[in-house]
Chain A
Amino acid sequence: MLTVAPPDAAEARCNATFEALMWSMARPGDVRELPEAGLTSIVEALIDRECVAYADSPDLSRQIADTGAVLGDPATADHLFLDRLEGASDALAGIRCGSALYPDDGATLVAQVAHGSGQRLRLTGPGIDGARDMALALPAEFWAMREQLCAYPEGFDLLLVDGRSVIGIPRSTQIEVL
């Protein structure tokens, strides 16, 4: 009988990373655990030469280039990896939001953001039973910008990473700043 070797370390890491990302997107506001701290495991699980990606750190840019992905700017990238959201608002104003015809062209924004501190938010929408309150340390103007850009089903999707924790906020989630 055919026997299959167990997954190697990279395969297991990518699988666990995706599982965390999938459930965090499916349940906005839930905190999921990545196998590794930081954004590198997310790049490993999602990015390859079919992507246009942007990163604001040289290390991550190098990792993205090594996957074969095209390094783009924030306006052309389908995946953005930001160590800092502060001061990135101007760059994010041109982020890809797809179109009503092709909502899947909207970008995925992966950013390092502290969980549990900062603005109080109330999340409602698919994946949330009723409403969910949480605190996220994003720049004050971010949510207004998101509101303006995300005309559902157009929009971009957020993955907020703090150490090994990840929170997903898809475009379908409505956010009220409390």
Chain B
Amino acid sequence: MTLAALTKPWAATSYGFLDASAKRELRRKMLKAIAVPGCQMPYASREVPMARGWGTGGLQVTLTLVNPQSTIKVIDQGADDGVNAASIRRFISRVSGAAETWDTLDASIVQSRHRVPEETMREDQILVLQVPNPEPLRGVEPNMSIARQMHADADYGRLWLTLYEQLVRKGRIMQGAAYPSLVNGRHVMTPSPIPRWDVPKLNMARHLTFLSAGREKRLHAVPPFTRVEPLVFSDRPYRVEDHADLVCRRSGIAGYFMNEIPQDSGGSVFEVSDSNLGIKAIRRAEGEAVEIGATWYENGEYSA
């Protein structure tokens, strides 16, 4: 063995920003995460040029997956043009040479903060969700060693208790986002703070989902065709937000998840949260030939 055989020629940057050892570690953990769906796998979570808590976990997964043939879409609460989304998308593109897109249909990797796109994702697409708090038990068990033991024992009684308390106190489930969901009948995961509207999209999906928390240094995955069941009582069915009848004031489309915009007059108007779906609907209404893919929800009803 020679010294030269153990080294590589000097380069100013690593392709895709992360160095080779960081990628190898992420690859190993991502394979394990797929093998045990919904189970949180610890990883080292390297520094990236972004503050922890702003999507560093998702970014590291995307940087591991990306290659020059990739097409990247990044969304922040459904919008492609938010500062966070635009900055992450531009950064990924700059360090990898991957193409950028706003269109869910064109993307090979969709990195997302807190929404799943409305257009049904295909079997060749990867959804990378940024997760602020990957531990569904954090609220009921702050000690993470005990929480780990609870996952090992599949001891999720206290999560059921919080849902029961919400029903008793308010008459309905108050959990708006990060609804605890049972994956593959074994591990309860937090699906990141996506609204209840988006949780059914992960159940028996065609695409592969990674959920990565950079600050908490854990990632988990939902492979395609994996059961993701929100925790519900059998006599209180799971309900998504009542957005089926809301109409987007800009694009005129209805039956999708909406952003509520309060007005000075006291009322509210609504805009479709998946902003590029709204943009495509507007362009189509103006006569352009725009392809809008099949959507998970049809007329406000989950149909896939």
Contacts and interface: CB of A to CB of B under 8 A. Distances in A.
Interface of A: 1-8, 10-12, 14-16, 18-19, 21-23, 25-27, 45-48, 50-51, 66, 99-101, 103-104, 106, 108, 125-129, 152-153, 155, 157, 170-172
Given A11-B20, A103-B32, A18 B64 contact: yes
B283 to A, nearest CB: 29
Contacts of A14: 20, 23-24, 27
Nearest to A4: B95
A144 to B, nearest CB: 20
A45 B21 CA distance: 10
A127 B96 contact: no
B223 A26 contact: yes
Contacts of B153: 100
Interface stretch (B35-43, B232-240, B255-263, B265-273): B35-43
A21 B26 CA distance: 13
A126 B28 contact: no
A123 B208 CA distance: 19
Given A7-B15, A101-B152, A129-B225, A1 B35 contact: no
A27 B27 contact: no
Given A103-B39, A104-B36, A172-B184, A27 B95 contact: no
26 contacts: A6-B15, A7-B16, A8-B15, A11-B20, A18-B65, A19-B67, A22-B31, A25-B35, A26-B221, A45-B24, A48-B21, A50-B21, A50-B25, A66-B1, A104-B29, A125-B184, A126-B37, A126-B223, A127-B223, A127-B226, A128-B225, A129-B204, A157-B31, A171-B35, A171-B36, A172-B37
Given A4-B96, A16-B67, A157-B32, 17 more contacts: A5-B15, A6-B97, A7-B67, A14-B23, A15-B65, A18-B64, A21-B31, A26-B224, A27-B224, A45-B24, A66-B1, A99-B152, A126-B226, A129-B225, A170-B34, A170-B36, A172-B35
Contact of A126 (B24, B64, B184): B184
Contacts of B29: 104
Interface of B: 1, 5-6, 8, 11-13, 15-16, 20-21, 23-25, 27-32, 34-37, 39, 41-42, 64-65, 67-68, 94-97, 148-149, 152-153, 184, 186-187, 204, 208, 221, 223-227
B64 A66 contact: no
A171 B35 CA distance: 6
Contacts of A10: 8
B148 A153 contact: no
A170 B16 CA distance: 28
B39 A153 contact: yes
Contacts of B94: 1-4
A26 B31 CA distance: 8
Contacts of B5: 66
B15 A4 contact: yes
Contacts of B97: 4, 6
Nearest to B1: A66
Given A14-B23, A48-B21, A104-B42, A172 B1 contact: no
A48 B13 CA distance: 20
Contacts of B204: 129
B15 A152 contact: no
Contact of A18 (B11, B27, B148, B227): B27
Nearest to A153: B36
B225 A126 contact: yes
B24 A48 contact: yes
Contacts of B42: 104
A12 B42 CA distance: 26
Contacts of B36: 103-104, 152-153, 170-172
Given A4-B13, A7-B15, A12 B224 contact: no
